Amino acid sequence: MLNLKGKQVYLRALEPTDLDFLYKLENDTSVWEVSGTLKPYSKKVLQLYLDNAHRDIYDVKQLRLCISNEKDECIGLIDLFDFDPKHRRAGIGIIIVEPGDRNRGAGAEALSLLCDYAFSALDMHQLYANILEDNEASIHLFQKMGFEEIGVKKEWIRTNQGFKNEIMYQKINTNES
């Protein structure tokens, strides 16, 4: 039986009550660099997104889940994106919003739960992550969770400080039958 619940966090679908959380996160300019966001989102646009969040991953090629703590508070998001069932691969992204919730194992547990789900329920062969070269916390997390560096995209992401390299990490499903 597949479980999306760990010792300190669980993964759940987006709910209508997550609108304020999404609004705060999507309009936080400090994360726009990694999310590729160029402009603020209105609550109306985010509500439309939530209204369609139930759509199937095979249709929209993405799955976004809330990372919730033991108090049932959404502390972050974890995504599968560029879902490709033919080649059995998907990208993965994660954010823990509040700095006080970071470096306490929640990200590692959420990433482990999503990898298990992707490999067993979705039959993925591989997962990958694209991480900015100066994002030491994410690099550490993905390496700790068994992702291997497979390449560097030179000057890939344009930021206010100029172009930055993006490192690509990959994890192959070693438990396939």
Reported as a single tens digit per residue, the pLDDT across 51-72 is 777 777 878 888 999 999 999 9
SS3 177: coil
Total number of domains in the chain = 1
What is the value of pTM for the model shown?
A: 0.89
Q: Evaluate whether residue 84 is within a structural domain.
A: yes
Determine, yes or no, domain membership for 86.
yes
Q: Is residue 3 part of a domain?
A: no
pLDDT category, 177, cuts 50, 70, 90?
Answer: low
Q: Which of 116, 50, 105, 44 is nearest to 80 (CA)?
A: 116
For residue 93, pLDDT beyond 80: yes
Is the dihedral angle over the CA atoms 31, 34, 39, 40 positive or is it negative? negative
The string of pLDDT tens digits covering residues 3-12 is: 799 999 999 9
* Residue 90: per-residue pLDDT: 97
Write down the pLDDT at residue 135. 92
Q: What CATH number does the domain containing 35 carry?
A: 3.40.630.30
Q: For residue 101, tell me if it sits in a domain.
A: yes
- Integer Cα distance of 47 and 42 in angstroms: 9
- 109 domain-assigned: yes
Asked if the structure places residue 143 within a domain, the reply is: yes
Q: Which domain holds residue 95?
A: 9-172
pLDDT at 1: 41
Sheet holding 162-172, edge to edge: 9-13, 63-69, 74-84, 89-96, 126-132, 162-172, 148-159
In Å, the largest CA–CA distance within the chain is: 47
**Which comes out higher in pLDDT, residue 161 or 67?**
67
Within-domain flag for 48: yes
DSSP 105: S
Question: pLDDT at position 124, please?
Answer: 96
